[in-house]
Amino acid sequence: MTSNQFIRGTLWGAAGFNMYGAALFAFPASYLGQLSGLPAAVPPLYRFLLASFVFCFGCAYIWLAQQKSVSRLFVLFGALDKTLVFFVVFALWLAQESPLEHVLIISGDLAFAVMWVFWLISTRQSASVDVR
């Protein structure tokens, strides 16, 4: 598998993960939302704002996966975002404000972040520019 195939595959995977998450956040009272341990009674403003942000990131990953050249800066931004989301949920779990299921589910975000950082590090030589 080439580096290009790898990053595009992970972007498509992250897009799917985000779309699934957006649906869960938009409809937490659904069967899958309840199976995921989400609270059923969430005000619509919070449900749909969170779902919108997650959905928009998913759309951005789809867009980026289809570009001729993958923006390293955007991949870094996505990795930072996914890492932050993981650590927020992890901190809430430590504070006993979120169940362990949420940490396990959101570990997918951390996995994407790790893969993206690995890609950024492994391709940094080919991305450098000779300024002579």
Please write the tens of the pLDDT for every residue from 13-44. 999 999 999 999 999 999 999 998 899 999 99
Residue 62, domain member (yes or no): yes
Instruction: Report the percentage of the chain scoring pLDDT > 70.
Output: 95
Residue 131, domain member (yes or no): no
Residue 61, domain member (yes or no): yes
* Listed residue (28, 77, 31, 33) closest to 56, CA to CA: 77
* Per-residue pLDDT at 131 exceeds 60: no
Residue 15, domain member (yes or no): yes
Residue 55, domain member (yes or no): yes
**Residue 122 contacts residue 3 (beta carbons within 8 Å):** yes
Mean pLDDT confidence for 61-76: 96
Q: Looking at the 3D structure of the chain, how many domains does it have?
A: 1
| SS3 state of residue 128 | coil
Per-residue burial over 16-38, b = 16 or more CB atoms within 10 Å of its CB, e = otherwise: ebbbbbbbbbbbbeeeebeebeb
**CA 56-110-99 angle, 5° bins:** 90
Query: What predicted TM-score, i.e. pTM, was given to this entire model?
Result: 0.89
Domain that holds residue 111: 3-124
Residue 103, domain member (yes or no): yes
Mean pLDDT confidence for 71-94: 97
Residue length of the chain: 132
